[in-house]
Structure 1
Amino acid sequence: MSTTATNFPSGLKPLEFSTESTSKLSQKKVLDILNKKCFNSLQHLRQVHSIILRTGHFQDHYVSGTLVKCYANPHFNNFALAIKVFDQIPRPNVFVCNIVLKGSLENGEPHEAISCYQKMVLLNSKPNKFTYPTLFKACAITGSVKEGIQFHSHVVKHGLSDGHIKSAGIQMYTSFGLVKEARRMLDERGETDVVCWNAMIDGYLKCGEVEEAKDLFGCMPYRNVGSWNTMISGLARCGMIESARTLFNDMEERDEISWSAIIDAYIKQGCFKEALEVFHKMQREKVKPKPYSLPSVLTACANLGALDQGRWIHSYVKRNSFQVNAVLGTALIDMYAKCGRLDMSWEVFEKMRVKEVSTWNAMIGGLSIHGRAEEAIELLKKMQEEKLKPNDVTFVSVLNACAHAGMVESGVALLNSMNRVYGIEPKMEHFGCVVDLLGRAGLIKEAEKFIESMTVKPNAAIWGALLNACRVHGNVEVGEKVGWILLDMEPRNSGRYALLSNIYAKAGRWDDVTRVRKLMKDRGIKTIPGSSMMNLDGRVHEFKMGDGSHPEMKSIYVMLESIMEKLQIKGYSPNTSIVSFDIEEEEKETALKQHSEKLALAFGLIRTEAGTTLHIVKNLRVCEDCHSAFKLISQIYSREIIMRDRVRYHHFRNGMCSCRDFCANRLVYQSIYLS
């Protein structure tokens, strides 16, 4: 921008003063206009910039610095213009330089901050205590170890002693993994406040030095709530969830962050039920959740199928007039989709003013797990029309949708278009989706050829998709070969043993079944027990095969017998072929009857009124027998049953399933001891 400009840019509406009066504007008036009128209006900012040049106020560092600050507003997304203005300021002082340093981070340009400091040194502009915290953060982001150490030496040289500088330096060193250097900085002379101690504890925990963190926490001269929160979050990050919960319980005073920290801790460990229990306790203690903590709770609701709690949170957001930003809106979309309410997902999606790529991905992913492949593809096209570029996750969801709908041609076409149309290089996850797509359609040879043609070495997920297809379509020859490849690649993955065992069992090769199970036993591999959950009256009820711990189990088994009798009248016959044990038929039928999803269904029929929709969440795939039974049960009892298994949703209604039996006929059935 020319420093000689004196007129307003054409086509812009002037501010409340006339051009004739601009020469009389004082510094105070100019600053007032900059701060009140220009911070969110680039048009007004350019007008005032012209006035500043005309009146000579540009020589005033306080005015020119404020002007740079306005241009550096991330809202304008034009930080290069701020730098251009900065470069025109004659001998900028530390006030101006600090504004550029801060703006560099706010605009995602940390390298620019380091460059700006180099200019400060050349101009002999002496830094102050506000300079170095920003520089330390920039070095941490960019991994600039050498520069970070130099900045630390400059802090010592200038004799700056400030808690903000020290805490930022500690965070920088620990981000490099230089824990000893961080501790030396903590122990240096000068101001050391509780924030510095907290930063050191956080650094220890991020570097996995748990005992050092505990020792430092124990000898702190003063702790605040943040100290406890740091320990809780750090221990959880290290996988020590029980220790984190013990600390949480020992806290005499908790803030909203404390509750959020322990909820996040449980969610990161996959303990969604426990996370929701903590949230309920939080409510009982009258602690009002803040907007930033709600996405985590919604994640727990999504994974548990806890629709009632999810709807309560949505209602809470509305009652408190919280802004549904991209993060919260995406969490709501995901929650409703995973709780079986795709209509509510659509409603939230349509009402959101600002949608990020993650928001579109959540909606496309919801359509995918509900088998709405055509709509998922249409949303991908609409995303392109909105000038929003899809990413890797987008295509994983769309390709999965094609796989579950049997849309082979569309799926392959999408893979081929990723690089050509969208400029995205397909990754292993996308190749895995296509192998799954071909395998589900029974195109085993084509899937093998596709794997051979891949430019990258196939990983366990690729071979697993092919093994699934072999199990579904009874291809023992290929399945055996792939199965043993997987047992070498993932000797601790119980699911691989189960699938290979199932392939042998379906072929009647019981000696090989015994060989696989013996190998599991020798290696100490434990299977993942199948479990199903149902959320009723604000409580999550969990059921496992052979587990009689539920207080209403006697009534559940009575209801199961009644269900079986009615099923038999309708012509139902247990599909014992999926049981991979060499046992009597009667034992197989008993085992099938006690699958966790059937127990959950019986409980739901007991505890809900006629006509109520039943929601069930299972951690594994639904088996063929349960799939067939649920279709008939939906007709017999005039109930809609919505089941989410490990991969997708099944909506059972009037004797039909939303998957149109595509998944039922091609499911990768888990063996009976997994169900």
Structure 2
Amino acid sequence: MSVTATKFVYGLRAEELSPKNATPTSKLSQKKVLDILNNKCGTSLQHLRQAHALILRTGHFQDHYVSGTLLKCYANPHFNNFAFAIRVFHHIPSPNVFVWNILLKGCLEYNLPHLVISSYNNMLLFNSRPNKFTYPILLKACAITGSAEEGVQFHAHVVKHGLIGLVREARTMLDAGGESDVICWNAMIDGYLKCGQVEVAREVFERMPEKNVGTWNAMISGLARCGMIESARKLFDDMTERDEISWSAIIDGYIKEGYFKEALEVFNDMQRENIKPRKYILSSVLTACANLGALDLGRWIHSYVERNFIQMEAVLGTALVDMYVKCGRLDMAWKVFENMPVKEVSTWNAMIGGLAIHGHAEDAIELFNKINGEKLMPNGITFVGVLNACAHAGMVDRGLTLLNSMKKVYGIEPGIEHFGCVVDLLGRAGLLEEAEKFIDSMPLKPNAAVWGALLNACRIHGNVELGEKVGWMLLDMEPRNSGRYALLSNIYAKAERWDDVVRVRKLMKERGIKTIPGSSMMDLGGTVHEFKMGDGTHPQMKEIYVMLERMMEKLRAEGYSPKTSQVLFDIDEEEKETALNQHSEKIAVAFGLLHTEPGTTLRIVKNLRVCEDCHSAFKLISQIYSRDIIMRDRVRYHHFRNGVCSCKDFW
């Protein structure tokens, strides 16, 4: 090994990274070098450094394909060494588009979306022409950072460089070719749908001389991808023959649009037709189970995986961890996590985030500290998890330390979501003035989510003056967000400023804004039951209301007093109490008490934040009925046991 190569690899002289006069030797071909990089350097940093030194010594570093592959190896999150990968990049002479794309993808994987966007200008300055692999990375970075203006510019460049898909030319070839088969027609349909030309795709579909299952699948997948799930379902129902891709397409389409119950219904139909699901369908269905709290089906899938010896690879294992976390079974989530043979950063994120929202802040931080020992690089999502843990536990100093460590220790540029977590952290701790100052000092322009965190803190701590200021600012920023109106109304109502409540409600009416109705779901025997306030559609609603009244009588006998300040209307106290008693989560728990054995844990999923009155009532219910109640609301999990909640009334 040359002195130059040795010094560089051990970081002594970075300027010697690319020897100017080295030329490739004839004894070692490009193919041989690439084989060494691809086959021997994927898991060992020592092997990678040795290969790096060899590349420098033999002069192959000048070969963009070799140096780009070397850069890709260093950028692997497994090595937690992206800062060094950037150093390697800066010494590659006149990097071409292949090298730039590897750098941009690495920035995205290490949660540096702003660096992706800023690097684009440098790429153009180096006269490296972007290709079809460049723009998806750039557009994804814009989506993450909310950079709409840059996203429009990138789109313009896509069109300018002719990368939008040559569907017109493809259609001309298809119409002119006498030998076009069904595969060619299917590709044409897929191309139209990917370009958003749905009606043209329909026209091609209707006039096709011959269709196969792939034809129908292309249409269903494309329609679902375009958000036209009802049209996709109609085609699915019209199919005379289906394969596993057909079922997967409609299930994924429902999940993408948030129709989780419908996704599970399709999966149940699939089971009735005795079609064995493969792991990619199982991962999708687990996502639906997680969002609905459908623990029974989630456990069945886990059992199915074990019975059929399906490999617990990272995607499936992470989906299982996430499902158990969101269904309130941290113990099972931890068991799956511990037994997974291979864990990716996303797996660690699911477990850390789960511990955080269940109120196990110390455990979440301890798990975060173990990532480095696994030679993995935490990413931006990891820090969202641990910062949320600190916020819900009131660990202000720890949270601020973690934020400061992101760039200094891990080379991760904090994003708007991380600053939002810190505002939430300061606000929940009652440090409203500090939270406002923190927003003013942010290097990024605060978005609605950041101000929303401060508004919620004003609600928690009853700061009407600041809440009013922030609330009206948010109504200008997000005039269609019904939650902002509800939160401001709540602040006014708690202060009994009914004229202001009316003012907010009047504005909502003028703008045509409707509040999202509260709903609660409970999984019982594999069936998900949904309840809404004032909704009498459930077939057992009469019995449920009888049970609800008995439950409220027991609560009153134990000293329960309704928190009528939670009602956002100026009505008399009796009407307020009736309104509180009919909140969807109270109806759900009454249903659970009616249909489960004594001692059974009740699990409820609510679409909105639980109100203070229901929170107080549930603590008392858990004591009176000797029941554990696990409620997931829009913000976090609440474990009620023996009159106490795991959130320590801090949510």
TM-score between both structures, scaled by the size of structure 1: 0.75
Q: Which runs of 5+ in 2 are unaligned?
A: 2-26, 77-94, 102-129, 137-160
Q: Which residue in the other structure is 1:350 paired with? A: 338
Say whether 1:324 aligns with 2:316.
no
Q: 1:379 aligns with which of 367, 373, 384?
A: 367
- How far residue 661 of structure 1 moved from its aligned partner, in angstroms, is 1.6
CA distance in 2 between counterparts of 1:441 and 1:510 reads 28
Residue pairs, 1:113-132, within 5 angstroms = none
Aligned partner of 1:505 among 493, 507, 511: 493
**Is 1:267 the equivalent of 2:255?**
yes
Partner of 2:515: 527
* 505 and 142 in structure 1: CA distance in 2 versus 1, 3 angstrom threshold: closer
**1:601 matched to 2:593:** no
Aligned counterpart in structure 2 of residue 410 of structure 1, from 395, 398, 401? 398
How many angstroms does 1:580 deviate by?
1.2
Residues 70, 427 of structure 1: alpha-carbon distance in 2 compared, 3 angstrom cutoff:
closer
Matched, 1:441 2:429: yes
SS of corresponding position for 1:662: coil
Using a 3 Å threshold, how does the CA distance of structure 1 residues 571 and 193 change in structure 2: closer, same or farther?
Answer: same
Shift in CA distance, 551/362, structure 1 to aligned 2, threshold 3 Å: same
Counterpart in the other structure of 2:478: 490
* CA displacement 1:404-455 (0-9 Å, x = unmatched): 1111111111111111111111110001011111111111100110001011
8 Å CA contact 1:110, 1:142 repeated in 2: no
SS at match of 1:548: coil
Amino acid in the other structure paired with 2:566:
I
Q: For residues 166 and 396 of structure 2, what CA distance do their matches in structure 1 show?
A: 51
| Pair 1:228 & 2:228 matched | no
The one-character-per-residue Cα deviations of 1:89-127 (angstroms, maximum 9, x if unpaired) are 9xxxxxxx9xx99xx99x999956999xxxxxxxxxxxx
Aligned-residue offset at 1:142: 4.0
Identity of aligned residues (%): 73
Matched, 1:428 2:448: no
**Over residues 593-633 of structure 1, what are the superposed CA-to-partner deviations in whole Å (9 max), with x where a residue is unaligned?**
00000000000111111111111100111111111111111
Pair 1:507–1:186, CA change in 2 (3 A):
same
Question: Could you say what the CA RMSD is over the residues aligned between the two structures, in angstroms?
Answer: 3.1
Tell me, yes or no, if structure 1 residue 141 matches structure 2 residue 106.
no
State whether residues 294 and 528 of structure 2, in contact with CA within 8 Å, keep that contact through their aligned partners in structure 1.
yes
Confirm whether residue 544 of structure 1 aligns to residue 524 of structure 2.
no
Whichever residue aligns with residue 355 of structure 2, its letter is L
* Aligned length, in residue pairs: 540
Say whether 1:590 aligns with 2:578. yes
- The 2-side partners of 1:409 and 1:245 are apart by 51
Helix, strand or coil at the partner of 2:604: strand
Q: Distance in 1 between matches of 2:567 and 2:517?
A: 15
* Structure 2 match to 1:673: none
SS at the partner of 2:371?
helix
Query: What's the secondary structure of 1:257's corresponding residue?
Result: helix
Give the residue type in structure 2 aligned to 1:306: A
Cα distance between partner residues in 1 of 2:539 and 2:571? 30
Equivalent of 2:544, from 542, 545, 556? 556
Q: 1:574 to 1:342 in 2, by over 3 A?
A: same
Indicate which of 228, 242, 255 corresponds to 2:243. Answer: 255
Distance between the aligned counterparts of 2:278 and 2:162, measured in 1? 29
Q: Looking at both structures, which has the greater relative contact order when contacts are Cα pairs under 8 Å and sequence separation is at least 6?
A: 2
Instruction: Give 2:204's aligned residue.
Output: 216
CA shift, 1:71, in A, is 5.4
Aligned to 1:118: none
Report the equivalent of 1:206: 194
Q: Which residue of 1 aligns with 2:287?
A: 299
Preserved contact between residue 559 and residue 602 of structure 1 (Cα < 8 Å) = yes
**Structure 1, gaps ≥5 residues long:** 2-52, 59-63, 90-96, 116-137, 145-172, 664-675
- For residues 39 and 360 of structure 2, what CA distance do their matches in structure 1 show? 38
Alpha-carbon distance in structure 2 between the residues aligned to 1:424 and 1:347: 30
Which SS does the other structure have where 2:366 is aligned?
helix
**Higher Rg of the two aligned structures:** 1
CA contact (8 A) 2:131 2:163 kept: no
Q: What is the rounded CA distance, in whole Å, between the counterparts of 2:215 and 2:59 in structure 1?
A: 45
CA–CA distance in structure 2, aligned partners of residues 630 and 110 of structure 1: 62
Q: Contact 2:189–2:201 at 8 Å: present in 1 too?
A: yes
CA–CA distance in 1 between the matches of 2:583 and 2:40?
55
Q: Measure, in 1, the Cα distance between the counterparts of 2:179 and 2:41.
A: 38
Q: What letter is aligned with 1:590?
A: T
Q: CA deviation at 1:487?
A: 0.8
Displacement of 1:88: 12
Question: Distance in 2 between the 1:360 and 1:429 partners?
Answer: 19
Amino acid in the other structure paired with 1:423: G
Indicate the larger mover: 199-208 or 284-293.
199-208
TM-score if structure 2 supplies the norm length? Answer: 0.78
2:105 maps to what in 1?
A: none
2:349 corresponds, among 333, 358, 361, to: 361
Deviations 1:141-189 (A, max 9, x none): 2469xxxxxxxxxxxxxxxxxxxxxxxxxxxx99624432343344454
Given the alignment, which residue of 616, 637, 644 partners 1:649?
637
- CA 1:516–1:641: 2 relative to 1, 3 Å: same
| 1:386 partner amino acid | E
Q: Tell me how far apart the structure 2 counterparts of residues 557 and 498 of structure 1 sit (CA, whole Å).
A: 27
Shift of 1:477: 1.2
